[in-house]
Structure 1
Amino acid sequence: MAARVGLLPHAILVSSRALPTPRARVPYPLPPVPSYLRHASSSASRSCRASPRFVAVRAMASGNPYAAELAAAKKAVTLAAKLCQTVQQDIMHSGVQAKADKSPVTVADYGSQILVGFSLKMDVSSGPFSLVAEEDSDELRKDGAEEILEDITDLVNETIFDDGSYNISFTKEGILSAIDDGKSEGGPSGRHWVLDPIDGTKGFLRGDQYAIALALLDEGKVVLGVLACPNLPLSSINNINGNSSGDKVGALFSATIGCGAQVESLDGSPPQKVIAFILINNLKFLTYLLSY
């Protein structure tokens, strides 16, 4: 997507393990740790720590004002991840389109966006619905797009049926309309969902890592975010189950403003692990990571 936003733009995240002696100095000066991080209270995080996965009523009791939205967001990206996994495993090479900028777009891009938007509209009833997403239906309305539109329609309906959460079936015109639900331009007021239906398209196409990334903006502030990572091994996340995670694959990350962040298995199996960070005064003890 055009922009990326973080729930904690200045937060410093490090491992909860004992800090090792640094092997080398950082080759450039680093900014000081913000005072609000050094002295931040953890009471808000503790109050939200026990929130269950999709049960909004119990989560509300923990003090999370966005509990219902968080539950709906988790459900939406989990549903989209099921479709993406099917496409990646079975037909990812047969449903490739090209955007105007020549970057790859797959059936899963459209299907993921449809399912996230549809699920949110079904489960979040507060105020008008606004979704800022990547795709529109223009390419699918052109001559020659009938086959890919049929593939999307079939995959969306099969995913909804297999999941069992909703008793609904889309027509092709309904699919086109659902895609265009993501054409909102957002704005500084009101609530707006922001979606990247497949963050990491090239990784997705080669059978590697990708994420379904969803956030909620409320009056211009990012208040909630979820990441579904279908191919991420749980063993790569430090001690998520309190022991070895074996070869289990699929992680769901979530965070709400004032309530911290959590990670859990994408299939919904317990437990949910709180993602902690250590407040430090000396940045030389940080471990630096680069992505590629």
Structure 2
Amino acid sequence: MPYARQRKLLIVTFLAIPLFLLALLTYYPAFKLLYYSFTDWNGLSAKFNWLGLDNYREVFTNRDFFGVFVNQLPYFFGGILQNVIALLFAIVLNSRLRGRNGFRLLLFLPYIINGVAIAFMFQYVFDTTNGSLNILLDLVGLDGLKQSWLGNAALVNYSLAGISLWRYMGYTMIIYLGALQSLPNDMYEAARIDGAGRFQSLWHLTLPSLTTIIQLNLFLTLSGALSVFDLPYILTKGGPIGASETFLLKTTETAFEFNNSGLASAMSVVLLLLTIGLLGLQRLVIRGERA
């Protein structure tokens, strides 16, 4: 066999296996999900009826489904605040600070911890009677601020969003830190020669150079805010009185508690479309700022 043909055969063979796995484990399930979203499949039966767009109408018209996104607004606000704090920490820890590697490790450590372990840990922090947060407020003389942090419908989502901010801030910081370390020092030396101060260099050099990374981190945090599941599921089960229910939690409940996999599939497709729309809107906003 000629060398050129051997080379093509080898390339095709190496590509065929991952492409087959990609089609089998990603594209085929996605196609089936889209197909089931137009049916009343219960997740078990081999027979189901075609409903057309009825499931999508139910998602958009039933406030019990689409209205839960209001509960996720604190996660959006927390995601934006998370990026601001992470960028500030990255800038500080990119300098010649003594012990900066230790600080980086401490800030990144919460991301390594298992999400279930974090949820159970904060269950003790937010406990109404013996929680460490209420005990701390009592010790410093702020006992008037003691709350039922997970039992108060007005505060529960902000409490959960605070846990999410603490958990993922270090991961976001590491991405910013890697981007900062890739910036050339010559650019800053030229700016110093021209008389630019630290704030001017940050505003006119650092932030414009990080636009793509900021866009990536914002997309990751905001899309994560759309698909929150583990914290409310473990800590509150969507309570009190549905105040902490999220769209993904509602989707799982629809599929496995009410055995309506067709409607749950439609909800999953809607969540995917919302994530794509969020990415498109974010890119339009950043392009407008560049212009």
TM-score, normalised to structure 2's length? 0.31
TM-score, normalised to structure 1's length? 0.31
**Structure with the higher fraction of residues in strand conformation:** 1
**Structure with the higher fraction of residues in helix conformation:** 2
